[in-house]
Structure 1
Amino acid sequence: MSRQTLRQTFGEDAELYDRVRPAYPRELFDDLARAVGPHPRVLEIGPGTGQATAAMVARGWNITAVELSPALADVLRRKYPAIEVIVADFDTWELPTGEYDLVLSATAFHWLDPATRVARCAGLLRPGGALAVVSTHHVAGGSEQFFTDVQTCYAEFTDDPAAEPLTAADDVPEDPAGLADSGLFESVESRGYVWDATYTTAGYLELLSSYSGHRALTTERRDGLYDCIGALIDAAGGSVTKRYLNQLIVGICPHQPLA
């Protein structure tokens, strides 16, 4: 399925998405605060139901959020009524004239048009403002044997090719968003945050149900896949540990226009 089709799936069950999608390490926002100052004006792209928004609200940041899904936006408004939530496709949204201190996209930047996303974000920033891209990676660690064995389930019930072994956190490219290559930023820095999450069988299957690729499967294939995965987790003791890498890439706009 196309990027445009898959990114529409997240709002199909907004309450599930809100319940199971993980938040982000506090240290990530501590580091970001040092880059943008104590009270930034923020534009968040693709907030979902607020997995990253929560940490910024807690810090008292001034947030405008642009969310593609009306259902996810409704949950976000209910949770954080003080922030401005706009339902729009960022790829075609008419960009405002105001200048932001920070444009942030957390685990959503890869859903934007790769030909325009960096330039559109940079165009929203004041001189010296920051574009922050947070990506989430499943990396080597945790229940490694389970994640090897589970590939047999995906081979049987999906059309995906056999997955490569999980990458070590230290081997994930530092700038997958291509900020440095754009030439739009004075400096680009990357930091990683590694942490583990343990799920019960039911909890892990709920998490999978929030992923676009799993939601796009036919009911028959998805049920077969989940039965297969659930049996593996039950056989391993009823829980599975997944290791996450959250990667923060921050590009700082020049204080003066580029020549």
Structure 2
Amino acid sequence: MAGIVDDIAGDGGLDGLRRVSETITELESRRTRMIDQLRREHRASWDEIGKACGMTRQGATRRWSRKAHAASFGEAAGAYERGRPSYPVSAVDWVVPRGARRVLDLGAGTGKFTRLLVDAGLDVVAVEPSEQMRDQLTAAVPRAAVFDGSAERIPLPDADVDAVVVAQAWHWVDPKIAVPEVARVLRPGGTLGLVWNNRDRGEPWVAQLDTILRQPARHRIDTEPDIGEPFEQLERTEIRWRHRLGRAELLDMVASRSYIIVLPEQRRRELLGEVGELLDTHPDLKGRDEITLPYVTRCTRAVYSSR
């Protein structure tokens, strides 16, 4: 092992440091993929994974459970595209500053927000780490330039875009790495916009649906995160709107949740059955071909200051 490291480091210096850093990044990415596969195929517990990585079970789950959930979207890319809602057009108007021309949609998924950016006449670059998601995105939004990458590794040059938008994805990133990386690709005075769709639990049947969905994973997504330097002028807004969809699309929306995807198959079928029973029996849903699902879209924006 020492010999391999010496070969990579060479004579040291900045070039050697760069090669070592690139190797560490690639090895960490490979380790994450291996852990994801072990968990998806139920071949190893978190205790076993922790021991193999030289850490405790708690340390392993803290480090990789979120990444494993994020990586799970690829296998449900079709359900994600069919079931996930779009966003209100007013969200684009709010998070993208007037005068912006070139915009990065970061963590673009299947292109739900990307197509709104393209329809607004913007020059759009979309970055998404999942190959299956990128396939859906490329087919749905052919006018966007689509690249493999992540918030921690954006495949764009410095000062390349006027705005960066992250829709339904910022909670998956490591802000310590992502914030300076986003700042790197932004032009001075450019903006970072964060967007989340949240189901409106004020509707009784939506509250019941959320109770079912929260059974396997009681977690809370922070939709009002701090961003910190070098960003300033932090602002937030909420947009209320309604999404119309059919029964099959609603079931696809449920099936595309990361914590549903990683459930054992039997438990996953049971949960989808509970959602189906809600659709069949609730007085606001029973017998309806079209369902109206209320949303609150929460938006955050901040300006990059190069001072």
1:19 to 70, 79, 82: 82
1:150, 1:229 within 8 Å by CA — same for their partners in 2? no
Is the radius of gyration larger for structure 1 or structure 2?
A: 2
Higher strand share: 1
Q: 1:245 to 1:146 in 2, by over 3 A?
A: closer
Structure 2 partner of 1:76: 137
| SS at 2:280 equivalent | helix
Structure 2 partner of 1:221: 267
Distance in 2 between residues matched to 1:47 and 1:118, nearest whole Å: 17
Q: 1:154 to 1:43 in 2, by over 3 A?
A: closer
Offset, 1:178: 0.8
Higher helix share: 2
Offset, 1:132: 0.8
Structure 2 partner of 1:115: 176
Q: Does 1:177 align with 2:177?
A: no
Q: Letter of the aligned partner of 2:169 in structure 1?
A: A
Offset, 1:44: 1.3
Gapped regions of structure 2 (runs ≥ 5): 1-60
TM-score (norm 2): 0.69
| SS at 2:176 equivalent | coil
2:73 to 5, 10, 31: 10
Q: Letter of the aligned partner of 1:177 in structure 2?
A: P
Structure 2 partner of 1:55: 116
| SS at 2:105 equivalent | strand
1:133, 1:177 within 8 Å by CA — same for their partners in 2? no
Q: Letter of the aligned partner of 1:183 in structure 2?
A: E
Q: 1:186 to 1:206 in 2, by over 3 A?
A: closer
Offset, 1:250: 1.1
Q: 1:220 to 1:248 in 2, by over 3 A?
A: same
Q: Letter of the aligned partner of 2:280 in structure 1?
A: D
Gapped regions of structure 1 (runs ≥ 5): 165-171
Q: Letter of the aligned partner of 2:93 in structure 1?
A: D
Offset, 1:148: 3.6
1:146, 1:232 within 8 Å by CA — same for their partners in 2? no
Higher relative contact order (CA 8 A, sep 6+): 1
Structure 2 partner of 1:168: none
Structure 1 partner of 2:17: none
Distance in 2 between residues matched to 1:84 and 1:111, nearest whole Å: 22
Offset, 1:50: 1.1
Offset, 1:131: 0.7
Offset, 1:242: 3.4
| SS at 1:123 equivalent | helix
**Percent identity over paired residues:** 29
Distance in 1 between residues matched to 2:83 and 2:249, nearest whole Å: 8
Offset, 1:216: 0.9
2:254 to 180, 204, 208: 208
Distance in 1 between residues matched to 2:111 and 2:209, nearest whole Å: 33
Computed over aligned residues only, the root mean square deviation of the Cα atoms, in angstroms, reads 2.6
Structure 1 partner of 2:197: 136
Structure 2 partner of 1:244: 295
Q: Letter of the aligned partner of 1:108 in structure 2?
A: A
1:36, 1:101 within 8 Å by CA — same for their partners in 2? no
Name the count of aligned residue pairs. Answer: 239
Distance in 1 between residues matched to 2:145 and 2:303, nearest whole Å: 24
